[in-house]
Amino acid sequence: MSKHSRKLAKLVDTSPKEETAILVALIHQNETEKLVQDHLDELAFLTETLGAKAIHRFTQRMDKPDTRSFVGTGKLEEIKAYVEYFDVDMVIFDEDLSPSQVKILENELKIKVYDRSMLILDIFLNRAQTAQAKTQVELARFQYLLPRLTRMWTHLERQRGGTATRGGAGEKEIETDKRDIRRKIDILKDKLKKIEKQGQTQRKGRQGIVRVALVGYTNVGKSTLMNLLTKENILAENKLFATVDSTVRKVVLENIPFLISDTVGFIRKLPTHLIESFKSTLSEIEEADLLVHVVDIAHPGFEDQIAVVNQTLRELGAGDKPMIMVFNKIDIAPKMPSEEELMEMSEFEVEEANFIDFEKLKVSYAKKSAINPVFMAAGDGTNIDELRKTIIEEVKKIHKKMYPHYLEDEVVDFSQYSDEE
C-alpha cells in the first residue's frame, strides 16, 4: 500500500460513522401492510432528517401493543438478534412508548430506543433557529424525556453533544440527571413566559391588517411558495420540518397590504407536548384571517395528509377559518392521461399508476368550500399568478370589512407594519 493510500485509509477509519437504525411498527386491525409500509416510509424520512440511516424494518400484526415489550417476546428476540449481528445504533418505533416499555426495551437491546415523539422532538431541536422555537422544543423534550430517562439517555447526551454509549451509566447518574432536567424545565418555563410577552406585544402591533397563514403537512412546499409570494429567500429543503420557526412577511398586492406567515408543518401523530409548547408560535394560525392549505398532490397519501392537517386545525380552534386549498407539485404528480393514451394501457397499468384526475378533484373541493382550489407547481412557478389572484380576492373581502371606505375617501397609513422575522 502506498503512502497516499495509507493516509486515505486512515482518514476513512477516523471519519464519523453514520448511525444506523431499525424501524418498528405494529399492523393494527383493519390496517393493510401497504398502509403501514407507507407510514414506515415517512418514519425512514424522519430518521434521515435526524441524520441516521434506516437499514431494516420490522412489523408485527397485533390488535394492541404488548404492555411490556410493545411487540411481544418472540418479535423482540428477532429484533435483538438483528441488532447484535449488524451492530445497530438505535431502534425507532412508529408509536409512542410508555416509560416502562422504554426501560424494558433498552435493557434487552442495549441500544438507544426512540419512539415517534422523541424522534420528532429531536428533529425540531436540531432545526429550531429562533430563541422562542429553541426554548419551546427544549421544554417539550425535557418534559417528555423526564419519566423516560434511562441509562442510554444519561446527561441529556451532554446537551445533544453525541449519542449515548452502550452500557450507559448508573442509577445515581440518572437521578442526578432527573434533578437537572427538573431545574431546566423551571428555567425554560420562565424564559418562555418572557418571550411570549414580547410576542404578544408584536402581535398587538399587527391589528388592523389582514393576516394570511400558510399551513399544511410537513415537506409539501410551503417555504418555496412563501419565497414566490414574498420574493425572499426563506430556507426550503426536501426534508421534514425544514421550517420550525414561524416567518412573517408583509406583502402588498393591488395596493392592499397584508401579512403572510410560513408556519411549522403538521405531521401524523404530532406529539401533544410539542403542540402545547408551540402554542405561541401556532397563534399565527389561530389569529389568521385566511388560511392557505398547501398540499403535496404528488404524494400517494395526500388525502390522508389533508385529513391530518384539518384535524390539527380543529384542535387549534382554527378549523372554521376561510381556506384556500392549494394543490402543489402538479409537475410531478401522476396526471390523468388522455382517452387515447388510456386505450393503449392495460387495466393493471392504469391501476398501478394511480392517476389523479385534476378536474374531478377541483370540482370535489370546490363543492366543499366557497373558494375554488388552485393547482400549481411552486418549484417552477406554474400557476403562481392564479394563486396570487385568489389570495388577493379573499384578502380584499376581509380588508373591506375592516376598512369599508379604503381607497375611496380616506387613506390608511400602514407604515407602522414593518417586515418581521
From the annotation, which residues make up the binding site?
Answer: 216-223, 241-245, 262-265, 328-331
Helix (H) or strand (E) holding 194: helix 171-204
Per the CB < 8 A criterion, the answer to whether 390 and 374 are in contact is: yes
Tell me the CB-side half-sphere exposure of residue 231, using CA atoms within 13 A: 5
Quick one: the chain helix, strand, coil %, rounded to 5? 50, 15, 35
Alpha-carbon distances, residue 266 vs 186, 226, 287 (angstroms): 27, 17, 17
Place of cell 397590504: 257
Per the CB < 8 A criterion, the answer to whether 72 and 60 are in contact is: yes
Q: Which residue ranges make up the annotated binding site for GTP?
A: 216-223, 241-245, 262-265, 328-331
Burial of 355 (C-beta count, 10 Å sphere; 0-12/13-18/19+): middle
Task: For residue 87, give the DSSP letter.
Answer: T
Q: Which residue ranges make up the annotated binding site for Mg(2+)?
A: 223, 243
Question: Which residues on adjacent β-strands are paired with residue 293?
Answer: 215, 325
Write the DSSP string, 235-286: ---SSTTS--S-EEEEEEETTEEEEEEE-PPB-TT--HHHHHHTHHHHHHHH
* C-alpha cell at position 344: 393503449
Query: What does the angle CA 152 – CA 153 – CA 155 come to, to the nearest 5 degrees?
Result: 125
Cα gap 78→75, rounded to integer Å: 5
Strand order, beta sheet including 112-114: 53-61, 20-27, 90-93, 112-114
Per the CB < 8 A criterion, the answer to whether 111 and 83 are in contact is: yes
Task: For residue 25, give the DSSP letter.
Answer: E
CA 208 remoteness from chain centre: 31
Could you give the 3-state DSSP secondary structure of residue 256? strand
Closest to 91 in 3D by CA, of 64, 67, 110: 110
